[in-house]
Amino acid sequence: MTETNETVSNFVRNIIEEDIASSKFGGRVHTRFPPEPNGYLHIGHSKAILLNDGLAEDYGGKFNLRFDDTNPTKEEQAYIDAIIEDVRWLGADWEDRLFYASDYFEQLYEWAVQLIKEGKAYVDDLSAEEIREYRGTLTEPGRNSPYRDRPVAENLDLFERMRDGEFPDGSRVLRAKIDMSSSNINLRDPVMYRILHEEHPRTGDRWCIYPMYDWAHGQSDSIEGITHSLCTLEFEDHRPLYDWFVEQLGIYHPQQIEFARLKLSYTLMSKRVLRKLVEDGIVDGWDDPRMPTLAAYRRRGYTPRAIRQFSEMIGVSKANSMVDVAMLEHAIRDDLNEHAPRAFAVLDPLKVVIDNYPEDKVEWFELPNHPGDESMGTRALPFTRELYIEREDFMEDPLRNYYRLSPGQEVRLYGAYYITCDEVVKDEDGNLVELHCRLDPESRGGSTPDGRRVKGTLHWVSAAHAHEAEVRLYDTLFVVEDPGASDDLREILNPESLVVLNGAMLEPGLAEAEVGNPYQFMRQGYFVVDSKDSTPERLVFNRTVSLRDTWAKVRNKQ
Ligand code: ATP
Ligand code: MG
């Protein structure tokens, strides 16, 4: 694993260092993260957030959070609030620089008027469909709109009346007058404004024309004095347009740099798809722990520290590639292994009665909270005649090399006693009901004077003290590595993406577990209290990640 805190080099850093050396922006570094508030942030966004925030921090610069809120049909205040919470949770710091593209609507309008006056923008009466037809294709040039050569005065008048609300949605647009035969389709007279009689979460009904993203984005960067405007590769072809706008307006010119999007195996990230999963009820909201959103990850028990570590592991490049989701889980596991205290939880309980142990006796065994970190202290666990062990830790007819409990085979109950199984009790249908065992009093604390070895060590919980809980186990939402390549999401859904276990038995201290504090349930994985559904009466735990680390195996083979 790469070392934390050591600055990992990447091509963006190289560009920034050259710019600092040549004093391109007076040595300044000013980045931003520009989300559109039309959904929740996902793990792909965290790559962009941590990259931008990290660069600002490393080069003594500034980082802005700016909402690209130019499309009121899809945007909501609830998304704005959720995004702010998530960016803060990740630990990126915009200080007092929280901005909105909608703060610039008036300025953008004035700049549009400036371009109209200079003959560089015009009002077009073609319909959206006609505009598409006239645009041409990658191999064919476009055609000029019949309205392209309207006199400036007419354009100014119509644009003002568009703003005043005289025209219905879709009846007119404002377009930049660039070049309908450009080999770059983005330069074929792109639309700058459309009419939308829609309530905006921030500007209310003040506007009924809204700037297109391409018209708002570069100018917003310019207004904020952004030096390095980082975005994903699909905007590479838009860069000439952004450059054209700031050059025509004669305003400050940020440098756009494109990098590859994060793509994760078994995961879909497009907000459009995530919204569909929510709306179709395939998941239980944006923060369903199976979603790749930051809100879902938080609820599932992922930590910002681990997401940062993952972000450093994957680095930043110009080439699109798919990252193995096992690598993200590896980072989570690594972090929790270090920070999560251990606890006993029996997820699928089987009752064990210790026949040679008195009925009312309770012994307390002091166990370490973390095997490698004494500073995490110890806890006392009660031991009694009736216990629970994991159902899968017993086999009546053991396979070869099965070292857990079976008739006549001795095992260690972690930190307590050695036990041997004498009798298997079943109901009339042949189902296992309980085991009767006997302990060796000499083995108290988990070892014997004769140094006798046992191969199996099991976790256990005192039945009288156990706290019952619901435990939710998660797996990937999709069964194929590249779900983006599939036409029908329903066909590739993983039927076992959520398995609910009722009646798990927890060591008593876990009754006080709090949201946000992870535990390692020994031999089972990492778990956290569910922030939404857990109540003091009915605890609900989410499995953050299992113990099995497939990524470490892949890496060790390399
Ligand atoms: P999506 O396609 O998932 O809906 P988006 O790009 O439309 O995402 P925005 O809110 O516009 O979402 O994204 C804000 C910023 O996050 C943009 O600068 C975008 O480039 C970046 N970003 C989005 N998805 C990823 C990703 N998978 N990897 C890296 N950066 C991303
Ligand atoms: Mg977008």
pLDDT in tens, 225-269: 999 999 999 999 999 999 999 999 999 999 999 999 999 999 999
Centre of ligand 1 from the C-alpha of residue 48, in Å:
8
Across residues 142-154, what is the average pLDDT? 98
| Ligand 2 center from residue 146 Cα (angstroms) | 31
Tens-place pLDDT, residues 48-98: 999 999 999 999 999 999 999 999 999 999 999 999 999 999 999 999 999
Residues with CB under 6 A from ligand 1: 34-36, 44-45, 47-48, 231-232, 261-262, 269-271
Give CA 451 to chain center in angstroms: 49
Please give the pLDDT value at position 549: 84
Residue corresponding to tokens 């239980």: 284
Active site residue 271: yes
Query: What percent of the chain stands above pLDDT 70?
Result: 98
Q: What is the mean pLDDT of residues 399-419?
A: 95
Predicted pLDDT at 8: 60
Rounded to whole angstroms, how far apart are CA atoms 457 and 290? 32
Mean pLDDT of the chain: 95
Residue with CA at minimum distance from ligand 1 atom 9:
35
Give the Å distance between the CA of 42 and the centre of ligand 2.
12
Q: Which atom of ligand 1 is nearest to the CA of 230?
A: 18
Interacting residues of 26 by C-beta distance below 8 A, sequence separation 6+: none
Residue 4 pLDDT exceeds 50 = no
The full DSSP string for 45-57 is HHHHHHHHHHHHH
Dig out the tokens for 6 from the structure: 């050591």
Residue 2 is predicted with a pLDDT of 40
For residue 48, the ligand 1 atom closest to its alpha carbon is 30
Q: What pLDDT, on the 0 to 100 scale, is given for residue 321?
A: 87
- C-alpha distance across the termini of the chain, in Å: 13
pTM for this prediction: 0.94
457 touches 412 (CB < 8 A): yes
Asked about 261 being catalytic, the answer comes back as yes
Residue type (1 letter), 83 = I
* Set 62, 172, 239, 271: catalytic member: 271
User: What pLDDT is stored for residue 558 in this prediction?
Assistant: 61
Q: How far is the CA of 46 from the centre of ligand 2 (A)?
A: 14
Closest CA to ligand 1's atom 16: 45
pLDDT for 7 equals: 55
pLDDT tens sequence across 183-211: 999 999 999 999 999 999 999 999 999 99
Minimum CA distance residue for ligand 1 atom 2: 270
pLDDT in tens, 314-356: 999 998 889 999 999 999 999 999 999 999 999 999 999 999 9
Query: Does the structure show a pLDDT above 50 at 3?
Result: no
pLDDT of residue 446: 86
CA–CA dist 19, 537 (Å, integer): 59
State the number of CA atoms in the 13 A half-sphere of 120 facing the CB: 13
> Of 232, 310, 322, which is best to mutate to test ligand 1, by the most ligand atoms within 8 angstroms of its C-beta?
232
pLDDT tens string 446-461: 889 998 989 999 999 9
pLDDT at 6: 47
pLDDT score recorded for residue 551: 79
Closest listed ligand to the CA of 293: 1
What distance in angstroms lies between residue 320's CA and the mean position of ligand 2's atoms?
17
